[in-house]
């Protein structure tokens, strides 16, 4: 991570809230990109009245939708039909947009990896104002119904390629608008992912998207605010407006609930767009100099400086989830993966970490 000591002037950041359309083949992505471009230009046109827009964030699923998850495609089928290359023609499209608008763009896609030709990963990427991909983060934590490979699934090969330090799993890139890191959807449900980025120097964290009912019931906001507060950093969290699962779908489904938001380094929501039906965005002023001063001067709210790291290592001394699951086989479809999740829960009971509920007792099954 390069070091920069220049003062960073205040700027506007945008969390886009587009309407998604499920891509069933790679060519379908173009329609989503055209919509994103139109939304970007409208958002910048209005938001730049305040301050220059230097950061635009695009939610998870905005390029491809969630076709493989909804229709339970086989992993290898998605690699062949819809996964993209980074860099590739889709990032070139966004790169041209970044150059036109003189802004950084952060987005997400399910992408191929040259070292794992039969796998796809869920990847967040940053494009700079020159149109170049300058940062990639591969999602490290997924939920039961997501088919993506994660580094833990191919642990031995991943650590052989990238090592086992923070940069291998929680990369951060120093830019002219601050140090940027990424977590994607379910990763934000785990405090460790944001903490990994914070310990690697992150000041701005991109965290897209989250589904209903967990937006309407407050989980999305609680997590975003907690990750920002815990680590004294900004969280920019774009979430989709509505979703059309297929090209021929006549009516969008509000499966995400919108509520795109930007949270400051004290855990305060400084902008959010609560509506979920139409395409829109949240926008707020980012002040990296203020964040840096607060980190340097606070004796209270900058929690990271006080970590007694030796005592926290004990929490993770024993592994819980099997690594290298996908070195020789592709990620599983829903039914098989549900069984893997149930086995993981069973280990929690066997180790005495969780106590079995009454209904699981002998004679009550």
> In which residue are the tokens 């969630």 written?
66
In a domain, 299, yes or no: yes
Phi, psi at 22, each rounded to 5°: -65, 130
In a domain, 337, yes or no: no
- Note down the domain range covering 72: 11-314
In a domain, 320, yes or no: no
What is the reported pLDDT for 212? 94
What is the reported pLDDT for 143? 87
One DSSP character per residue, 17-86 reads EPEEE--SSGGGHHHHHHHHHHHHHHHHHHHTTTS-EEEEE--TTTTTTTHHHHTT--HHHHHHHT-B-S
What is the reported pLDDT for 241? 94
What is the reported pLDDT for 148? 97
In a domain, 186, yes or no: yes
Positions in the chain whose pLDDT score sits under 70: 1-4, 276-277, 362-365
What pTM does this model have?
0.96
Overall domain count for the chain: 1
In a domain, 159, yes or no: yes
What is the reported pLDDT for 145? 87
C-alpha angle with apex 94: 93 to 98, nearest 5 degrees?
125
Q: How far apart are CA 16 and CA 33, in angstroms?
A: 13
In a domain, 108, yes or no: yes
> What's the pLDDT tens digit per position in 27-80?
999 999 999 999 999 999 999 999 999 999 999 999 999 999 999 999 999 999
> What's the pLDDT tens digit per position in 282-299?
999 999 999 999 999 999
In a domain, 329, yes or no: no
Residue 307's domain is classified under what CATH number?
3.60.110.10
What is the reported pLDDT for 276? 60
What is the reported pLDDT for 1? 55
Could you tell me the sign of the dihedral formed by the alpha carbons of 132, 240, 184, 151, in that order?
negative
Q: How far apart are CA 197 and CA 4, in angstroms?
A: 18
In a domain, 101, yes or no: yes
């Amino acid at each position: 991570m390069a070091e920069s000591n220049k003062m960073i002037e205040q700027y506007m950041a945008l969390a886009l809230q587009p309407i998604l359309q499920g891509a069933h083949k790679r060519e379908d992505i173009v329609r989503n990109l055209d919509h994103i471009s139109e939304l970007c230009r409208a958002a910048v046109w209005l938001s730049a009245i305040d301050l220059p827009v230097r950061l635009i964030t695009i939610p998870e699923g905005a390029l491809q939708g969630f076709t493989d998850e909804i229709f339970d495609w086989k992993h290898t089928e998605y690699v062949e039909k819809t996964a993209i290359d980074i860099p590739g023609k889709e990032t070139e499209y966004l790169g041209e947009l970044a150059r036109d608008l003189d802004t950084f763009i952060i987005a997400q896609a399910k992408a191929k990896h040259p070292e794992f030709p039969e796998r796809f990963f869920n990847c967040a990427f940053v494009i700079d104002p020159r149109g170049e991909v300058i940062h990639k983060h591969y999602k490290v934590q997924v939920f039961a119904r997501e088919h993506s490979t994660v580094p833990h699934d191919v642990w031995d090969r991943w650590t052989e390629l990238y090592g086992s330090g923070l940069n291998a799993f929680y990369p951060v890139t120093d830019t002219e608008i601050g140090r940027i890191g990424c977590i994607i959807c379910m990763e934000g449900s785990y405090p460790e992912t944001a903490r990994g980025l914070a310990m690697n120097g992150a000041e701005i964290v991109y965290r897209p998207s989250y589904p209903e009912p967990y937006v309407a019931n407050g989980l999305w906001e609680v997590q975003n605010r907690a990750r920002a507060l815990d680590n004294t950093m900004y969280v920019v969290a774009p979430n989709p407006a509505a979703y059309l699962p297929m090209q021929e779908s006549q009516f969008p489904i509000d499966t995400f609930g919108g509520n795109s938001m930007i949270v400051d380094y004290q855990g305060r929501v400084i902008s959010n767009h609560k509506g979920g039906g139409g395409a829109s965005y949240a926008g707020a002023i980012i002040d990296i100099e203020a964040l840096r001063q607060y980190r340097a001067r606070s004796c209270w709210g900058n929690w990271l400086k006080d970590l007694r790291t030796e005592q926290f290592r004990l929490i993770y001394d024993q592994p819980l989830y099997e690594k290298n699951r996908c070195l020789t086989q592709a990620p599983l479809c829903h039914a098989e993966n549900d069984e893997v999740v149930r086995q993981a829960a069973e280990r929690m009971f066997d180790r005495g970490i969780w106590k079995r509920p009454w209904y699981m007792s002998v004679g009550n099954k």
